[in-house]
């Protein structure tokens, strides 16, 4: 019995559900085991560790979350509460977010529709979401017209590009007298930088590519993004704070947010130890070798996660569309809002600090070596 108590002193004896519980109470009281237990741990670690004042929180968004309304219902409240400091998203999520900003409706349906009939009627389907083909055409037209303005006539990183798009969408909502329901607009308002790890892999990128055929001067700089995201993490840790990541799904955004640490340690040769907190919601298996299902322990071997912090790393194998609303409800119920860090406002300063430190080492003849990666104590 003594050994059992060392494993756990928490008996499984949940209260009967009455129907009057809040979402947070339901998670704490009845999400005890299996992936429900892991979702409870994600919620609790998010609130007790990532939302501490000294932790900078990065979020990744993959899968078709914004078309399902999760930008409005869940991500925007997290941003407004100061619970998300920077984001790496697929371009598709930001493109579909723009539909809502432009008042172009998407509709609930069911998955077993006749896709041949949908095509004949110019209806697009994302599983059980349907909308008119004109929604794509109108959104494409918006982007092609917007990027003709002088503010986009230059080379920029994706955070700057999304900030300028968000500025326009925020102003549009204000002119119409309403509160913005756009993730891009609210991120602009809150100073939360949004990066896209594969800027050409979305309809936004496709429309930017069309401008390039017209010899437009807008160019997205993914190398700027690599160093800029690394500088966010380096600044957080350099100033004595911590870095936490909340990963929804996997894919390219997951790798992009985690590679900040190998960029700092392995490539730039600056002393670091990895992200402090790793929380992931995914439906991908680890045994296929894909990045989407790779565990925090595996990421630790690459220097992406601090080995001393593995007990605070949790992976929940479930659908993000189930987990995210519950996590948002839990966090808002269990933690007071945090002051906005407005990392976008400090973007250039952080980048220049990382660059100066790297150039100082480089000019001194130092080369990246394994000693830059701090070992577990």
Q: What is the DSSP string of 194-229?
A: EE-SSTTSSHHHHHHHHHHHTT---EE-HHHHHHHH
Q: How confident is the model at residue 11 (pLDDT cuts 50, 70, 90)?
A: confident
The pairing of strands 123-126 and 129-132 is antiparallel
pLDDT band, residue 374 (cuts 50/70/90): low
- Assess contact for 183 and 67: CB atoms under 8 A: no
Region 136-161: mean pLDDT is: 96
Question: What pLDDT does residue 215 have?
Answer: 85
Q: How confident is the model at residue 180 (pLDDT cuts 50, 70, 90)?
A: confident
Per-residue pLDDT at 377 = 40
pTM for this predicted structure: 0.92
Q: What per-residue confidence (pLDDT) applies to 299?
A: 62
What is the band of 357 on the pLDDT scale with cuts at 50, 70, 90?
A: very high
Of 70, 34, 86, residue with least CA distance to 324: 70
Say yes or no to pLDDT of 98 above 80. yes
Cα separation, 12 vs 300, whole angstroms: 32
**Overall average pLDDT of the 277-306 stretch:** 72
% pLDDT > 90, the chain: 78
Indicate the pLDDT class of residue 230, thresholds 50, 70 and 90.
Answer: very high
Q: In sequence order, what are the beta bridge partners of 111?
A: none
Q: Which of 253-262, 334-343, 358-367 has the lowest mean pLDDT?
A: 358-367
CA 195 to each of CA 252, 312, 341: distance values in angstroms, whole numbers, following the listed order: 11, 25, 17
Q: What is the mean pLDDT of residues 195-207?
A: 94
pLDDT tier for residue 283 given thresholds of 50, 70 and 90: confident
Across the chain, mean pLDDT equals: 91
Contacts of 86 (CB under 8 A, 6+ apart): 56, 57, 58, 59, 192, 193, 194, 195, 229, 232, 343
Neighbours of 214 (CB within 10 A): 8
- Residues involved in catalysis: 304
**What value does the mean pLDDT take over residues 87-99?**
97
Find the mean pLDDT for residues 174-197: 93
pLDDT at 372 over 70: no
pLDDT (mean) for 241-270: 93
For residue 9, pLDDT beyond 80 = no
Q: pLDDT band at 203, cuts 50/70/90?
A: very high
Task: Say whether 193 sits in a helix, a strand or coil.
Answer: coil
Lowest mean pLDDT of 41-45, 283-287, 346-350, name the range.
Answer: 283-287
Q: Angle 183-190/158-175 helices, nearest 10 degrees?
A: 100
Segment 296-318, tens digit of pLDDT: 666 666 666 666 666 678 999 99
Within a 10 A sphere around the Cβ of 26, how many other Cβ atoms?
Answer: 17
CATH topology of domain 23-103+157-200+220-362: Deoxyhypusine Synthase (3.40.910)
Q: What is the 3-state secondary structure (H, E, C) of 360-373?
A: HHHHCCCCCCHHHE
Q: Mean pLDDT lowest for which of 73-77, 172-176, 188-192, 331-335?
A: 172-176
Structural contact between residues 335 and 47, judged by C-beta atoms closer than 8 angstroms: yes
Rounded to an integer, the average pLDDT of 321-335 is 98
Q: What is the mean pLDDT of residues 252-267?
A: 93
**Which residue's structure tokens are 């009281």?**
29
Give the integer Cα–Cα distance in Å for 315 and 29. Answer: 20
- Per-residue pLDDT for 371 more than 60? no
Closest Cα partner for 185 from 281, 79, 90? Answer: 79
Structure tokens at 278: 């790793």
Report pLDDT for 38: 94
């Amino acid at each position: 019995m003594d050994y059992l108590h060392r494993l756990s002193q928490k008996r499984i004896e949940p209260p009967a559900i009455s129907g009057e519980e809040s979402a947070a109470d339901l998670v704490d009281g009845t999400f005890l085991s299996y992936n429900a237990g892991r979702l409870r741990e994600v919620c609790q670690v998010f609130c007790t560790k990532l939302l501490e004042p000294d932790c900078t929180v990065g979020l990744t968004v993959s899968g078709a979350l914004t078309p399902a309304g999760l930008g409005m219902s869940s991500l925007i409240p997290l941003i407004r509460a100061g619970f998300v400091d920077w984001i790496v998203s697929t371009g598709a999520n930001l493109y579909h977010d723009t539909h809502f900003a432009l008042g172009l409706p998407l509709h609930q349906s069911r998955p077993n529709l006749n896709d041949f009939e949908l095509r004949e009627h110019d209806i697009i389907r994302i599983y059980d979401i349907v909308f008119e083909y004109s929604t794509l055409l109108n959104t494409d037209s918006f982007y092609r017209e917007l990027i003709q303005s002088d503010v986009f006539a230059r080379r920029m990183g994706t955070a700057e590009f999304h900030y300028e798009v968000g500025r326009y969408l925020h102003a549009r909502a204000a002119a119409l007298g309403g509160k913005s329901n756009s993730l891009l607009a609210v991120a602009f308002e809150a100073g939360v930088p949004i990066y896209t790890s594969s800027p050409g892999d979305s309809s936004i990128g496709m429309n930017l590519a069309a401008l390039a055929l017209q010899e437009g001067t807008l160019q997205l700089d993914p190398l700027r993004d690599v160093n800029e995201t690394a500088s966010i993490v380096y600044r957080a840790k350099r100033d004595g704070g911590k870095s936490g990541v909340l990963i929804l799904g996997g894919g390219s955004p997951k790798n992009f947010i985690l590679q900040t640490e190998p960029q700092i340690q392995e490539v730039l040769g600056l002393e670091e130890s990895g992200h402090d907190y790793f929380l992931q919601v995914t439906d991908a298996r680890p045994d296929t070798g894909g990045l989407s299902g790779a565990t925090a322990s595996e990421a630790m071997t690459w220097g992406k996660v601090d080995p001393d912090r593995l007990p605070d790393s949790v992976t929940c194998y479930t659908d993000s569309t189930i987990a995210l609303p519950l996590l948002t409800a839990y966090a808002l119920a269990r933690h007071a809002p945090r002051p906005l860090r407005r990392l976008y406002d400090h973007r250039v300063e952080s980048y220049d600090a990382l660059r100066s430190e790297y150039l100082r080492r480089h000019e001194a003849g130092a080369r990246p070596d394994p000693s830059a990666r701090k070992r577990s104590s």
